[in-house]
Structure 1
Amino acid sequence: MVRNERTPLRAVIYTRISHDPTGKAEGVTRQEEACRKLAADLGWSVVAVKVDDDRTAVGKSGRRARRPAYAELLDILAVGEAEAVIVWHTDRLYRQARDLEPLIEIVERTHVLIRPVKQGELDLTTASGRMVARILASVSTHEVEHSIERMKAKKEANRRAGVHHGGPRTFGFKPVEPTAKGQTPQVPRIDPREAKLIREAADAVLARAADPETGATLTGICRAWNSRGITSPRGKPWVIQTLRSVLLSPRIAGRVAHKGEDAGPAQWDAIIEHDTWLALRTVLTDPARSAHLASADARAPKYLGAGLYRCGRPGCGAVVRPGGARAGQRQQYRCTAGGHLIRTAAPVDDFVERVIIARLCRPGRAREVFATSEPPVGGGPDVDALTARHATLNARLNARLNALAAAFADSEDGDPVEYREAARLIKEKIAAVETQIADAVSAVAAANEPGPLDVVDLPELVRRHEADPDDALEWWRATYPLDRRRKILVVLAVVTLRPGRRGRPLGVLPGGVAPDSVNIDWTH
């Protein structure tokens, strides 16, 4: 059968748009309307509409992009379910020769007609038609590559100017609405609640790096945030890798990030100071410290009394640790010196924390307890002076680097190896100053780290305890992470567990603890 534009044919409409920031599919809708009008004018029946919305025809690094609707279109044509394709323009079908060739193979076999709205029929059944199509593909490829070059230059200019370049929302900042092409991107605004969490996490990590007995691990911070219902920007629970990426992001220091690296000052406000972020980066990227933190996180206790409670068997006094529970059973505390003490962990922890809360809420008693907590120590290294020194030295050394580069560029005898060695030595000096700043900030953070009792919101605890002790316990655990509550326990008391008795004592509810089986010796 000889086919031409006036022969009634079954047609497939294909539409595509590369970028659809609103998600309303307005661009592909307009394309479809124009294609349907052409089909009506030609007397063709539309049997299918295939849409690739918000999908480019060129993948990263020139690779083939994934276009599900285009693949479905080729399948329909290959099995003979349509005799024609209507498209707004040929560049909607293909942008590269690699996408054109599969279409040519199908057309040579099935004699499908290709009819763009914005140009005449594309005849791929003849050598001349295929030549024209391939030339158009080459022109289209050039346009894409030229557009990519301009886009890269624009992004580089924006980076130098500190402009927000879009992308997923960064924790600590409010969502930024997408802007239309050509408009200036909006400046991200700080989310006060999330920013406070980031500052607290940064202080805790720096304090921990300076003194393992203070601060918190990444695991501890994640656990605390998850217990409070705080989620990542994607709405998922926090894990170490996600938290670490947030703390390492230059964006939280008011800096532009490019491939994860600091690319200079940004237009938005900083959540933490730049020198604090430098210190944080040093801690989190140092291989020795990273290995230490990872092993410390793996060893971090998961139960209140692990390594703190003591065995009450006469003559023992060894610490207890959790373990021994089989699958589906509750965790138990066991004496590390033998098997003579086994207690279910959760009820004991509930009992101990209820007693601690009641003691803190006792009138007059909290004042004595809180008086034992020493105030934070001020002073320490002059971080501002070190930061000023870093800025001066950095500018001086960068000037020397530029002069060095210019000298080698102008000299025919310039040795690239010598240049790289000189550049390496200068960069090492900059890194040494950054390490000094990191150590100084860590020392100050550790010196000013509040004691375990200083962070307790006593009025709120008392209010909740008077209204409902169960609510007070729930709030206590949601507000203060496990490592903080363990430190409070160490400050206040020594807990000794006595071996349990067979059967449930009179007056003790199921799952409860007999008060005389847990001895609490108050140290304050």
Structure 2
Amino acid sequence: MTTPRAAAIYARISSDPGATHAGVERQLTDCRKKAEALGWGIGGEYVDNDLSAYSGKHRPEYARMMTDLADGLLDAVVVYNLDRLTRRPSELETFHDAIQAAGVAHVQFVTGEANMLTDDGLLQTRILGAFAAKESANISRRVRRKVEEVAAQGRPHGGARPFGYEDDKIGIRETEAGVYRQLVARFLAGESTRSLANWLNDQGIPTVTGKTWTTTTIKGMLINPRYVGLRAHRGTVVGRAVWEPLITDEDHRRILAKFAAKKTSGRRVPQRYLLSGMLRCGKCGNTLFSSARTERGKTTRRYVCSSGPDHGGCGKLTIAAAPVEDLIANFVLYRLDTPELADTLAGRSSADARTQELTTALDADTQQLEDLALAYANRDISMREWMTAKKPITQRLEATQRQLAAVTRTSALTGIVGDGAELRRTWDTLNLGRQNAIVAALVDRLTIGPGQPGARAVDPHRISVQWRH
């Protein structure tokens, strides 16, 4: 057989938390010495650092090496040990078939002399591969058991530090904790995750990895049980954590309820109209829909009663959006200064009691769903029994979440009741989500009556307001 002129050197290590590359560098050094001792030329070096060969995850450099072998750019392979090449028997067979198809006649390991290109050598390599896979499975089981133990004790584990906490994932970083509490307050007051992400990015507040904020990041952080002092493992809360919470259990429940309500509503696009979903047609009672009309290059925002199978309205009523929004905003700002509203909201203890009652019901139904799933997993009940029992519980959960969202709606009014004058000065600086939340907290329904043909201005008498409080 001819001496290889372009051998591939492959190095890999499963874990390199500090990204030092020290482990793979040692492998490369020993592989180079092996190739030199054999008199082989080196065609390329391929390194997968901090990547497992047992998990089945994509290894980009391994894939590149296999492509170069198939293309005839390499004629041999040098690896420190078999378990650096692979820890999965199925992948070993794939590697063997690939090098045979490529006509590669030389594979060398720095440790061990098994020649996988002979029948006896391949058998020995397969046995070594099976032992490597078994050892990886043992390591994985021990690591998994350790992680479960850490979770049960409420201690943190691995990964980047959470926003609001120090590097030990236990101590609170007050500057970030304050920002997180602001996020929670603003979200409960009606702001969208998109608005909150824009706010953080505009303020120049980075994520813990130094990246910009996205709506996905904001949502993930808001619903994360860690911030209420709970330890989760594989998506399930396993108990109280050793670190201090940043928010209360009640706020956490209200956050989850708001996201559940958003999911139920089906809204997926940014809100562009202040009164979306609040207006009713005075002729047929149907909800008015937002609709823009463009004529001669000018676009007018409108609310319309739409007919047809998807809307079901009479199609006979339209009102310009801008003037009606201005009128309702003025109504709301005036209402905020009335003593009657302050007196009504002063009796909020009953709302707090109702919140606690709904939260308790939510916990009970959630636990029942988990018990039901466990019964099915243990084969105590059939799939049909599980589905039959699950439906009424899920319906109760959805109804409770809607009620909880409605009861806690007045969070949007915190700190602004009795201060309408100040809010009037800053109203235009608020984003649309915040304005909508304030209006929705006070207004239950707005009915728009028919207008006069040819009228150029909106008649306030067309608008009937039904207040929540």
2:152 alignment counterpart: 160
Q: How many residues align?
A: 414
- Tell me, yes or no, if structure 1 residue 198 matches structure 2 residue 184: yes
CA offsets 1:328-367 (integer angstroms, 9 cap, x no match) = 965422368976654442x33664478569x76xxxxx99
- Select 1:455's aligned residue among 409, 416, 427: 416
- Flag the 1:322–1:51 CA change in 2: closer, same or farther, 3 A: same
1:310-349 to structure 2, matched below 5 A, reads 321-323=288-290, 325=292, 331-334=301-304, 342-345=318-321, 347-348=322-323
1:174 alignment counterpart: 164
1:53 alignment counterpart: 49
How far apart are residue 457 of structure 1 and its match? 9.7
How far apart are residue 482 of structure 1 and its match? 1.0
2:62 alignment counterpart: 70
Q: Distance in 1 between matches of 2:26 and 2:267?
A: 57
SS in 2 for 1:373: helix
- Flag the 1:9–1:324 CA change in 2: closer, same or farther, 3 A: closer
- Select 1:93's aligned residue among 85, 91, 94: 85
**Contact in 2 for aligned 1:343/1:499 (Cα 8 Å):** no
- Tell me, yes or no, if structure 1 residue 20 matches structure 2 residue 16: yes
Normalized against structure 1, the TM-score is what?
0.60
Q: Distance in 1 between matches of 2:92 and 2:268?
A: 58
**Contact in 1 for aligned 2:288/2:304 (Cα 8 Å):** yes
SS in 2 for 1:143: helix
**Contact in 1 for aligned 2:273/2:290 (Cα 8 Å):** no
**Contact in 1 for aligned 2:292/2:300 (Cα 8 Å):** yes
Question: Structure 1 unaligned runs (5+)?
Answer: 178-184, 205-214, 361-365, 391-415, 421-431, 466-471, 503-513
Q: Distance in 2 between matches of 1:367 and 1:280?
A: 25
**Contact in 2 for aligned 1:124/1:133 (Cα 8 Å):** yes
How far apart are residue 268 of structure 1 and its match? 1.6
- Select 1:265's aligned residue among 240, 245, 254: 240
How far apart are residue 222 of structure 1 and its match? 4.1
1:480 alignment counterpart: 434
- Select 1:238's aligned residue among 198, 215, 222: 215
1:84 alignment counterpart: 76
How far apart are residue 323 of structure 1 and its match? 4.3
Q: Distance in 2 between matches of 1:499 and 1:52?
A: 74
CA offsets 1:231-273 (integer angstroms, 9 cap, x no match) = 999856537x984x66654323212112222211212212334
Q: Distance in 1 between matches of 2:114 and 2:88?
A: 16
CA offsets 1:420-458 (integer angstroms, 9 cap, x no match) = 9xxxxxxxxxxx9xx9xxx9xx98994894574843695
Q: Distance in 1 between matches of 2:266 and 2:207?
A: 20
Q: Distance in 1 between matches of 2:272 and 2:432?
A: 15
Q: Distance in 1 between matches of 2:69 and 2:379?
A: 59
How far apart are residue 169 of structure 1 and its match? 6.7
- Tell me, yes or no, if structure 1 residue 116 matches structure 2 residue 109: yes
**Contact in 2 for aligned 1:12/1:73 (Cα 8 Å):** yes
- Select 2:342's aligned residue among 369, 373, 392: 373
- Tell me, yes or no, if structure 1 residue 187 matches structure 2 residue 173: no
**Contact in 1 for aligned 2:254/2:408 (Cα 8 Å):** no
Q: Distance in 2 between matches of 1:522 and 1:105?
A: 78
Question: Structure 2 unaligned runs (5+)?
Answer: 307-312, 362-377, 382-392
1:11 alignment counterpart: 7
**Contact in 2 for aligned 1:224/1:480 (Cα 8 Å):** no
How far apart are residue 11 of structure 1 and its match? 1.0
1:242-261 to structure 2, matched below 5 A, reads 243=219, 249-261=224-236
1:270-289 to structure 2, matched below 5 A, reads 270-274=245-249
1:210 alignment counterpart: none
How far apart are residue 10 of structure 1 and its match? 1.4
How far apart are residue 164 of structure 1 and its match? 1.1
SS in 1 for 2:342: coil
Q: Which has the larger radius of gyration?
A: 1
1:396 alignment counterpart: none
- Flag the 1:75–1:304 CA change in 2: closer, same or farther, 3 A: closer
- Flag the 1:460–1:158 CA change in 2: closer, same or farther, 3 A: farther
Q: Distance in 2 between matches of 1:499 and 1:26?
A: 81
Q: Distance in 2 between matches of 1:299 and 1:125?
A: 58
- Select 2:131's aligned residue among 134, 139, 146: 139
CA offsets 1:134-174 (integer angstroms, 9 cap, x no match) = 2221221121111112112211221122111235776xx33
How far apart are residue 226 of structure 1 and its match? 5.7
**Contact in 2 for aligned 1:160/1:263 (Cα 8 Å):** yes
Q: Distance in 2 between matches of 1:34 and 1:67?
A: 22
2:241 partner amino acid: A
SS in 2 for 1:12: strand
**Contact in 2 for aligned 1:376/1:448 (Cα 8 Å):** no
**Contact in 2 for aligned 1:77/1:112 (Cα 8 Å):** no
Q: Distance in 2 between matches of 1:382 and 1:356?
A: 30
CA offsets 1:361-420 (integer angstroms, 9 cap, x no match) = xxxxx995467422432545889x99xx99xxxxxxxxxxxxxxxxxxxxxxxxx999x9
SS in 2 for 1:31: helix
2:390 alignment counterpart: none
Q: Distance in 2 between matches of 1:378 and 1:200?
A: 20
- Flag the 1:369–1:42 CA change in 2: closer, same or farther, 3 A: same
How far apart are residue 484 of structure 1 and its match? 1.6
Q: Is the deviation greater in 71-80 or in 299-308?
A: 299-308
**Contact in 2 for aligned 1:111/1:125 (Cα 8 Å):** no
Percent sequence identity over aligned pairs: 22
- Flag the 1:189–1:68 CA change in 2: closer, same or farther, 3 A: same
How far apart are residue 486 of structure 1 and its match? 4.2
- Flag the 1:268–1:330 CA change in 2: closer, same or farther, 3 A: farther
Cα RMSD over matched residues? 5.5
Q: Distance in 2 between matches of 1:53 and 1:255?
A: 34
How far apart are residue 93 of structure 1 and its match? 0.5
